[in-house]
Amino acid sequence: MSSETDTTERARPEPIQAVPVRHPGRWVAVAVIGVLVAMFVHLLVTNKAFNWAFMVDEMFRPPIMEGLRGTLALTVLAMVIGVSLGVVVAIMRLSENPILRGVSWAYTWFFRAVPRLVLAILFGNLGILWARIEFGLPFDRQIGALFGVDDFEARLFGFSALEILTGFVAGMLALGLSEAAYMAEIVRAGIQSVDEGQTEAAQALGLSRTQILRRIVLPQAMRVIIPPTGNETIAMLKDTSLVAFVPVSTELFFQLKAVGNRTFQVFPMYVAACLWYLLLTSVLLVGQYYLERHFSKGFGRSAQAKIRLRGITAEAGGSTSEAGR
Amino acid sequence: MTQVTTPAEAEGTAGDGVMVRAEQVHKSFGSVEVLKGIDLEVRSGEVCCLLGPSGSGKSTFLRCINHLEKINAGRIRVDGDLIGYRERGGKLHEMREKEIATQRRAIGMVFQRFNLFPHMTALQNVAEAPVLLGRERKAAARDRAAALLQRVGLGDKLGNYPGQLSGGQQQRVAIARALAMQPKLMLFDEPTSALDPELVGEVLDVMKDLARDGMTMIVVTHEIGFAREVGDSLVFMDDGVVVESGAPREVIANPRHDRTKAFLAKVL
Ligand SMILES: Nc1ncnc2c1ncn2[C@@H]1O[C@H](COP(=O)(O)OP(=O)(O)O)[C@@H](O)[C@H]1O
Ligand SMILES: [Mg+2]
């Protein structure tokens, strides 16, 4: 008690004005980096091989823009396939049904084992397996033979494989199916990161398994899922250049390289590719930032800070208003 | 808490005023038997307080009542309905998940660690299940959720996320969330054990209020004062069996079994 009265009566000590710690290492680092940057800029400006005027002139031409559209479309479509199929595969993996679990495991195993480049080439050549892709009763010929009917066919509709499995579709499937395997692992980790008590509370309310997954578990898992998915999207943007091997030509890098090969100005077009990918990735990063912010509702630092503030006001007597219910 | 039951009563018709009837409930996790034949009866409008040392199986028993755990033997009936199974031709048939979910809707549960949905505001937490289950239109559900939060003293915290609420406030939201389903039975699993001492009272007050309104409640608690004041019956569990039960004042004042005495000596 007496110490309390002491503090109020004694004069407030003067604020501390200490000499801050010096950081000479930082200044050395700044100097070294400054010199390196200057050297790099000097290289960019003086070295004729960059041929900036030519590059800027070429990098917005219509074929390039078409390649850009192709790259963006492939990225978006492959990620849509990857994310939605990945969620399904992850849910199968966590299901109580051992067959679904097995299928999911086998899927992930296959598509993670085979390199994307090999997949792209493989899918580009799937036309060799089937001339036509048809939907109907499976094993219809065999079933027909079983009952003594020759050439029994029960097929609803079909397409020529070459028509459907165009390079673009083959490339999209190769990238999307492969992505689904990685996304499945990410989604699974996300779902497993959500506290068991959440599912229990929702079960106790009488919600169904799907409702719990959709409204309670997945939204919370998103916080864990979004950052690696952003990385996956960026990786996908760059991996679209692999579809050149399908072959698909409406793709950014292929088009830039084509200009380089045609004009014998290969290096500037590689630099143009770097710049394009830098730009696209930066746009994606901005999108990722907003997505992460959206899904951290009720979690993030700001929420924590608000609790702390509230705690302080409550201690100051703010809680009495609630007690008087 | 009379244990004398006639066969007709044991059928558990809804009209006999018994809300929960557990008969010889056994539950094992692997080879470890956690519940070793629990008999319990809670009448409509009664508050039954469940006491016992940690690990005696109180939570497990509570979770069996809304089928979060499957029992290995015995029967649990809530308002006359067998939980988790259907009896047909002398045989038990497992219920579908959908039917179990329907049964759970009538049984509210409040957890020690609140388990509020952290990505939803207090209001959304309370209104979510009624809306999802198509019981009410969104606007009506929100109005009712707001009224429920008002009732537990959180009328000014509708838009707060759980992370922005104190433990006591979170637990009151959790109670409102359970009430939103208009349950006929409420289960509380140590609702105040995770709270700072000065926040216990506000949650107990809400529970007392609920008891006064005639809600049937089973409350696992270490709050002897609450059991004495609000409880209609007290059940003391140890090591998976009911050791002693009766009127709370009676049991607390004159425990008959040594295990009850030892336990009460520790918590009183
Ligand atoms: N899911 C589970 N798996 C295995 N053992 C469990 C599980 N849940 C509870 N137990 C065990 O059952 C016993 C009773 O637990 P519990 O019902 O939580 O007791 P109480 O709530 O009375 O403290 C404990 O020994 C605990 O370790
Ligand atoms: Mg417990």
More confident residue, A25 or A316: A25
Residue B234: φ, ψ to 5°: -130, 135
Q: For residue A237, what pLDDT is reported?
A: 93
Q: Report percent pLDDT > 70 for chain A.
A: 88
**Half-sphere exposure (Cβ direction) of A230: Cα atoms closer than 13 Å:** 18
Sequence-distant contacts of A225-228: CB under 8 A, at least 24 apart: A225/A186, A225/A187, A225/A189, A225/A190, A226/A288, A226/A291, A226/A292, A226/A295, A227/A288, A227/A292, A228/A186
Residue range B47-74: average pLDDT?
Answer: 96
CB neighbour list of residue A22: distance below 8 Å, 6 or more residues apart:
none
Asked if B246 contacts B234 with a C-beta cutoff of 8 angstroms, the reply is yes
Distances (CA, A) of B158 to A106, A290, B61, B147: 47, 25, 33, 10
Query: Can you tell me the distance from the alpha carbon of B128 to that of B115, in angstroms, rounded to the nearest whole number?
Result: 14
CA distance A283 to chain B (A): 27
Query: What tokens appear for B223 in the block?
Result: 């709050």
Ligand 2 center to B189 CA (angstroms): 7
pLDDT of B31 over the 60 cut: yes
Query: Can you tell me the distance from the alpha carbon of B230 to that of A121, in angstroms, rounded to the nearest whole number?
Result: 74
CB neighbour list of residue A9: distance below 8 Å, 6 or more residues apart:
none
pLDDT of A32 over the 90 cut: yes
Q: Is B56 in the pocket of ligand 1 (CB under 6 A)?
A: yes
CA distance B205 to chain A (A): 10
What predicted TM-score, i.e. pTM, was given to this entire model?
Answer: 0.80
Among residues B246, B248, B243, B247, the alpha carbon closest in space to that of B262 is found at B243
Residue A247's pLDDT band (boundaries 50, 70, 90)? Answer: confident
Rg (CA), chain A: 30
Residues around the ion ligand 2 (C-beta < 5 A): B 59
Q: Kindly report the average pLDDT of chain B as a whole number.
A: 92
Which atom from ligand 1 is nearest to the alpha carbon of B57? 17
The verdict on a CB contact (< 8 Å) between B132 and A219 is no
Distances (CA, A) of B192 to A111, A286, B42, B183: 50, 44, 22, 21
Asked if B240 contacts B212 with a C-beta cutoff of 8 angstroms, the reply is no
All residues of chain B having their beta carbon less than 8 Å from the beta carbon of residue A197 are: 111, 113, 115
Q: For residue B23, what pLDDT is reported?
A: 95
Q: Is B216 in the pocket of ligand 1 (CB under 6 A)?
A: no
For residue B29, the ligand closest to its alpha carbon is 1
pLDDT of A312 over the 50 cut: no
Query: Can you tell me the distance from the alpha carbon of A40 to that of A271, in angstroms, rounded to the nearest whole number?
Result: 14
B109 residue type, one letter: M
DSSP lists the bridge partners of residue B185 as B107, B216
Which of B101, B111, B116 comes nearest A207 by C-beta?
B101
pLDDT, one tens digit per residue, over B228-252 is: 999 999 999 999 999 999 999 999 9
Residue A31's pLDDT band (boundaries 50, 70, 90)? Answer: very high
Residue B23: φ, ψ to 5°: -125, 120
Could you check whether the bond before residue A247 is cis, i.e. omega within 30 degrees of 0?
yes
pLDDT of B176 over the 70 cut: yes
Give contacts of A 139-198 with B, CB under 8 A: 195, 197-198
Query: Can you tell me the distance from the alpha carbon of A9 to that of B237, in angstroms, rounded to the nearest whole number?
Result: 57
pLDDT, one tens digit per residue, over A185-228 is: 999 999 999 999 999 999 999 999 999 999 999 999 998 998 89
Residue range A108-114: average pLDDT?
Answer: 95
Residue B135's pLDDT band (boundaries 50, 70, 90)? Answer: confident
What is the helix (H) or strand (E) element at residue A165, kind and residue range? none
pLDDT of A310 over the 60 cut: no
Q: Which of A144-153, A247-256, B64-73 has the highest mean pLDDT?
A: B64-73
